[in-house]
Amino acid sequence: MASRERAHSVTGAGAESSPGRALAPDRSNAVNNYEQVLVALRRVIRATDLHSKRLSKHAGLTGPQLLIMRTIRDLGEVTIGTIADKVSLSQATVTTILDRLEHRKLVYRVRSTKDKRKVHAHLTEAGAELLARAPNPLQEDFIKKFQSLDEWEQTMILAALQRVANMMDADDIDASPVLTVGSVLNDDGWKEKG
Amino acid sequence: MASRERAHSVTGAGAESSPGRALAPDRSNAVNNYEQVLVALRRVIRATDLHSKRLSKHAGLTGPQLLIMRTIRDLGEVTIGTIADKVSLSQATVTTILDRLEHRKLVYRVRSTKDKRKVHAHLTEAGAELLARAPNPLQEDFIKKFQSLDEWEQTMILAALQRVANMMDADDIDASPVLTVGSVLNDDGWKEKG
DNA sequence: ATTTACAGCACTAATGATTACAGGTCTTTA
DNA sequence: TAAAGACCTGTAATCATTAGTGCTGTAAAT
């Protein structure tokens, strides 16, 4: 109980409530806004999350593989260490994942001439194409709907998203104590290696 | 390749709504807007993606586990089959994952009384708490920044995100042929279990 | 200028855990 | 009886870590 009674007092968090268009701004007070923003954000994330999952299946790419390939695409030419840092994995893990990707000819490596310790990862044409063609099914519908909006609204959404992206970029996620797992499972529940 | 052309035509249509500071106005005409929206969207996704990654580590939850727990939280009381459908995994996989989660007392199962073939998954209090407390480190910074904005801007962002969420909710992701993997790896490249 | 010591970067090897799937089994429902 | 739903094998692949190796770059010492 109680886990379901959560504050869906607004914006029906229950995905399939089929709002369609309703969208009450609810400009009550500022305190309430951020919660709704987070809810909306979660919905957006979830949609793309599921999309990624499906993509993985169809393309034969696993989550980390996809994540790493996207990182390479976004950052251009990056060293293995930088990738590991960006995706929060160890160098060794990234290396083995890149091995598989390189074996499938989706990425290739080039040893740097300036600093021969470094290795730069690139997407092959096939890899870039895979990544480029993949998001299409999601994009196409999205674009169609997006372009049917008034221009002022497009501009508004764009500004809003950039704003949010900037906010999230800025904060230092790394330094977070986060949770104490121990409190949850002091029982025989799980493992006690750490 | 080169799917990332910029297609900068010209003729900035103005539309200057520059709210506060940074955020280069980038004179966006309607044609160019959606690309930037997608870019911004990707940045948002990426940020939360990394956050989830970190969260997984700290909380001892793997990606699929987290995804499934979120699904349960969002949909309330769901059958195993529904979960499998939502997250695009087989029933068997969901079953094993739920086994582990149940063993840690983060979820529990209840056999339906109406249709005794079905089993409903729920979050335990501990599981819900884990999920609820988890996003905090991200939220705190985010909330702080968000609440420092003008109210009109908060409302704007909220409306924009809801708009986007609705758009993505609507489209049917499932029916997507997507890619032909075979074209990428005709070589000895990978596996040929099929 | 050469040599030496130390740090940085990527790779390898070995290991444990998780994921994902294809079978088969059991119970319930129609 | 047949179908649906969930569960239980066993197997293959991937993920993720630690420890160790080799090569490169930099700086100090000779």
pLDDT tens figures, A35-51: 666 667 667 766 666 66
Q: What is the pLDDT of residues B15-54, one digit of tens each?
A: 333 333 333 333 334 445 566 666 676 666 666 666 666 6
Q: Which nucleotides of C are covered by protein (CB under 7 A)?
A: 8-14, 17-24, 27-29
Confidence of residue A151 (pLDDT cuts 50, 70, 90): confident
DSSP state of B123: E
Q: A34 and A1 share a domain? A: yes
What would you report as the CA-atom Rg of chain B, rounded to the nearest whole angstrom? 22
With respect to residue B87, please indicate whether it lies within any of the assigned structural domains.
Answer: yes
Q: Is residue A2 part of a domain?
A: yes
Assigned domain for A91 exists: yes
Q: What is the CATH number of the domain that holds B108?
A: 1.10.10.10
Burial A117-135 (b: 16+ CB within 10 A, else e): eebbbebbebbbbbbeebb
Residues A35 and B139: their CA atoms lie apart, in Å, by 10
**A65 and A133 share one domain:** yes
Domain membership flag for residue B94: yes
Are residues B167 and A15, on separate chains, in Cβ contact within 8 Å?
no
Tell me which nucleotides of strand D come within 7 A of a protein CB.
4-10, 12-20, 22-26
Q: Which residues of A touch B105 (CB under 8 A)?
A: 184-185, 187, 189
Identify the H or E element spanning B31: helix B30-59
The separation, in Å, between residue A88 CA and nucleotide D19 C1' comes to: 20
| Residue A106 maps to a domain | yes
Considering the domain architecture, whether residues A43 and A75 belong to the same structural domain is answered as no
Q: Among A138, A164, A179, identify where a domain stops.
A: A138
| Residue B158: CA count within 13 A, CB half-sphere | 29
Among A92-106, A180-194, B167-181, name the one with the lowest average pLDDT. Answer: A180-194
Q: Are residues A30 and A51 in the same domain?
A: yes
Residue B132 lies in a domain: yes
Residue B38 inside a domain? The answer is: no
Partner residue facing B17 (CB), from A137, A155, A189: A155
Question: Nearest CA to B65 among A190, A38, A59?
Answer: A190
pLDDT grade, residue B172 (50/70/90)?
Answer: very low
CA to C1' distance (Å), from B96 to C19: 9
pLDDT of residue A79: 94
Query: What is the Cα–Cα distance from A162 to A146, expressed in whole angstroms?
Result: 16
A178 contact partners, CB below 8 Å, separation of at least 6:
B54, B55, B58, B59, B134, B137
Domain range holding A88? 60-138
A44 and A70 fall within a common domain:
no
Number of domains in chain A: 2
- Which alpha helices (DSSP H) does chain A contain, by range? 30-59, 63-75, 80-87, 91-103, 125-133, 136-147, 151-170
Strand partners, B78: B121
- Cα distance from B117 to chain A (closest Cα, Å)? 22
Rounded-to-10 torsion of CA B75, A59, B168, A155: 140
Q: How far apart are CA A28 and CA B123, in angstroms?
A: 32
The pLDDT of residue A168: 62
Q: Are residues A45 and A76 in the same domain?
A: no
With tokens 């056999």, the residue in question is B111
How far is the C-alpha of B129 from the C-alpha of B133, rounded, in Å? 6
Burial class (CB in 10 A: 0-12, 13-18, 19+), A47: buried
Nearest to B145 by CA among A9, A164, A63, A79: A164
Q: Both A133 and A67 in a single domain?
A: yes
Q: Which residue is nearest to nucleotide C23 (CA to C1')?
A: B92
> Residue B138 is nearest to which of A74, A86, A173, comparing CB atoms?
A173
Report helix angle B136-147 to B151-170, nearest 10.
130
Do both A67 and A93 map to the same domain? yes
Q: What is the pLDDT of residues A4-24, one digit of tens each?
A: 222 222 222 333 333 333 334
Is B176 a member of any domain? no
HSE-CB at A172 with a 13 A cutoff on CA atoms is 4
Residue A94 Cα, gap to closest chain B Cα (Å):
14
